[in-house]
Amino acid sequence: MRGRPHPLAYLLALLASLIFAAHPAAAQSILRDAETEQLLKDMLAPLVEASELEPGNVEVVLINDGSINAFVAGGQAIYVHSGLIGAADTANEVQGVLAHELGHITAGHAVRFEERTKAANGISILSLLLGVGAVLAGAGDAGLGILAAGQQAAIGSFLSFNRDQEAATDLAGYRYLSGAGISGKGMITFFEKLRGNEIRAGYSQADEAAYSRTHPLTGDRIQVLRGLLESDPAWDTPPDPELQQRFVRAKAKLYGFLAEPPRTLAAYPPSDTSAAARYARAYAYHKDARIDMAIAETDALLAAEPDNPWFLELKGQVLLESGRPREALAPLRRATELTLSHPLIAGLLGHALIATEDPANFAEAEGVLRASVQKDRYNPFAWYQLGVVYEARGDIPRARLASAEVQVMNRQYPQALANAQAAEAYLPYGSPDWIRAQDVALEARAELERVKNRR
C-alpha cells in the first residue's frame, strides 16, 4: 500500500515542471517558395501602409504546420502555418488574419507577452515559496492550499491579459482593413470557420467557460467585429480577382507539395484542367517519379502563360531534380530574368549550373549565387552551392566562409567560428568577404558565450 506523497515532494516536483516549461519550444520548419512569399507580401503591403509602419519592414514567414494558426513572436514578422492557407478559401480571409496579426506587432504584444509571463511566473514562484514555508512549518495542507491559490491567480492573470490583447488586436485588424479599403468579410468568414471547428472539437462556447480561454469567445468576437465591419465603407468592396487567382494557385501548389500524391490526385483529378489543378498535379507526379506526366502539366501551364516565372521555375525544378540539369537551365534562366534575380530562383539556377558538372558553367553559377545571397543572406541552400563553386575553383578561404554562413544558420556555432576564423586569416585584408568573416565569427562567438552563461 502506497502512502500519501509528502507535500514538500509535490511542491519541489512542481517547481521542476515550471523550470522545464520555461524552455522554448523546438523550432518549426520554414517553407520557402518564391511565389507564395511574394503573394503574402503583396497581401500584407496595403495593411502595413494603413498601420503606418515602414513598408517592407514586416515580413511573412510560412511555417510547415498543418494546424490553423498564425502568430507573432517578436520583431516585425508574422508566422503563418501552412494549415491556415489550406483552411482559407479566399485571399481576403488570409488578409483578415494578417490584419489581426499586424495589430500584435503595432501594439508590441510580443514584448508585453514576455513581461506578463514574468509577472505570472512571479505569482507562481511567490506562492511556491510560501507553500514550501508552510510545509516546513508543519502545515502541509495549508501549503498546498497556498500553492493552488497562487497557481490559479497566475493562470487567471495571464489568460485575462491574453484575452484583452486579442480583443484589442481584433479592433486594430478592423482599422487596418478599413484603412486599406479591404473588405472585412474574409475576417468574419474565417472566424466563423474557427468557431465551427471549436464546436466540432467540443470546446464550450458558453460565457462561463471564457475565463479559462486564451482568446475571447469566438462568437463574441464575431458579433463585435461584424457590427464594425458591416458598417465600414469597404464592406462591399469586391475582392481583387488577380489576388484571388494567385491565392488559389499558391494554395494548390502548397497542397501538391505537402500532401501524398494519391490525396493530391483525388483533390485535383485530371478532369480538372484549371491552372491550380495542373499546378498541384505537377507536384504530385513529380513526387511519384512520373516525370513525363509532371512535365506535361508544366508544359500545359506554360502554353497558356509562357512568361509566367513561377511556371518556368517549376519546370526547371522538375527537370533538375529528375537528373536533367542541362534541360533545366533555359526555364530557370528565364525565370531568374523575369523576377529580376529573385534569390530563391537564382539559387536554384546556380544549383542547376553546378549540377551540369561543366566547369564552363561555374563562373555563371558564382554570379547568380552571389546575387542570391546578397538579396537574401538567410538562404543556407544558396550558400552551400556557392561553397561548392569556390571549392571547385580552389578558393578555399571563400569556401570556408560559405560553410560558416551555413553553419551559423544551423546553430553549429563551434564549426562556424572555426571556419570564419580560417577564412578571415586568408582573405584579402579589408575586403567585403574579410569583413563578413569577422561578422560571422563575432556572431558565433556571442552565441557560444550565451550558451555557456546559460549553463
Question: Does residue 262 form part of some domain?
Answer: no
At residue 278, the pLDDT reads 98
Question: Does residue 433 form part of some domain?
Answer: yes
Question: Does residue 161 form part of some domain?
Answer: yes
From residue 184, how far is each of 47, 83, 159 by CA, in Å?
12, 21, 27
At residue 141, the pLDDT reads 52
Q: Residue 115 pLDDT > 60, yes or no? A: no
Question: Does residue 122 form part of some domain?
Answer: yes
Q: Residue 445 pLDDT > 60, yes or no? A: yes
What's the CATH code of the domain at 155?
Answer: 3.30.2010.10
Question: Does residue 362 form part of some domain?
Answer: no
pLDDT tens figures, 214-265: 455 677 788 888 989 999 999 999 999 999 999 999 999 999 999 999 999 9
- Other C-beta atoms within 10 Å of 54: how many? 10
Domain count for the chain: 2
Residue where a domain stops, chosen among 213, 229, 245: 229
With beta carbons less than 8 A apart as the criterion, state whether 368 and 386 touch: no
pLDDT tens figures, 344-376: 999 999 999 999 999 999 999 999 999 999 999
pLDDT tens figures, 88-113: 999 999 999 999 999 989 986 444 44
Q: Residue 210 pLDDT > 70, yes or no? A: no
Q: Residue 180 pLDDT > 90, yes or no? A: yes
Question: Does residue 213 form part of some domain?
Answer: yes
Residue type (1 letter), 169: T
Instruction: Band the pLDDT of 117: cuts 50, 70, 90.
Output: very low
Question: Does residue 252 form part of some domain?
Answer: no
Residue where a domain stops, chosen among 210, 229, 248: 229
As a whole number, mean pLDDT of residues 25-52 equals: 88
Residue type (1 letter), 202: G
Whole-prediction pTM: 0.79
Range of the domain at 429: 395-455
Residue where a domain stops, chosen among 202, 229, 256: 229
Instruction: Band the pLDDT of 166: cuts 50, 70, 90.
Output: confident
